[in-house]
């Protein structure tokens, strides 16, 4: 019986580090809100690749609402939470800059053609699931794992006690 208690204590100590996995990750696509996407380029139509971007909301023109960099095609997107005039400043660090004002209207933006949204199939993205447990919580996974270990230990205990 002492061995069983010792084993249970060891299993419990092994399970404690799993509490660090309490925060999982997930994602969702945003397609219905006021997403603003812009493309920045030079006068010769070459994209402003990896240029610094600062976005200022209509309520605060001193502290940026969002910052980042354009992609390899000079594109940058942000989610405008409120309607109004948003200031977007783009600087490539080599003396070229763009200061653009983007007006976001109240309501949800509509696509220009029907194929723009339906062609992307935004609503058909599936989440990758754990193959054994599905979307079970960490607590359920922990109890299941402890149950397997305890059953293995009890099976070995009964097998060793056979005459």
CB-side neighbour CA atoms (13 Å) of 128: 4
- By the 10 Å C-beta count (0-12 exposed, 13-18 middle, 19+ buried), 145 is classed as middle
pLDDT of residue 2: 63
**Average pLDDT per 10 consecutive residues for the chain, totaling 163 residues:** 66 57 65 80 92 94 94 93 91 91 70 34 39 64 83 86 75
CA–CA distance, 114 with 14 (Å, rounded to integer): 55
The residues, any chain, with a CB within 8 Å of residue 60's CB and separated by 6 or more, are none
Q: State which fold the 35-108 domain adopts.
A: Immunoglobulin-like (2.60.40)
pLDDT of residue 135: 60
pLDDT of residue 87: 93
**Bridge partners, residue 131, by sequence:** none
pLDDT of residue 15: 60
CA–CA distance, 17 with 149 (Å, rounded to integer): 16
Report CA-CA distances (Å) from 142 to 12, 80, 131, 147: 10, 41, 16, 8
pTM: 0.52
CB-side neighbour CA atoms (13 Å) of 79: 6
Give me the helices (H) in the chain, please: 2-15, 114-118, 138-161
């Amino acid at each position: 019986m002492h061995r069983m208690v010792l084993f249970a204590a060891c299993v419990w100590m092994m399970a404690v580090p799993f509490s660090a996995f309490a925060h999982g990750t997930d994602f969702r696509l945003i397609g219905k809100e006021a997403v603003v996407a812009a493309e920045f380029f030079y006068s010769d139509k070459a994209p402003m690749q990896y240029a610094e971007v600062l976005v200022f909301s209509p309520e605060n023109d001193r502290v940026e609402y969002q910052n980042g960099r354009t992609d390899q095609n000079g594109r940058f997107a942000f989610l405008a939470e409120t309607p109004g005039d948003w200031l977007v400043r783009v600087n490539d660090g080599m003396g070229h800059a763009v200061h653009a004002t983007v007006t976001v209207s109240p309501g949800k933006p509509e696509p220009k053609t029907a194929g723009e949204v339906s062609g992307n199939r935004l609503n058909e993205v599936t989440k990758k699931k754990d193959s054994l447990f599905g979307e079970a919580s960490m607590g359920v996974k922990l109890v299941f794992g402890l149950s397997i270990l305890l059953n293995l230990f009890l099976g070995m205990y009964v097998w060793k006690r056979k005459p």
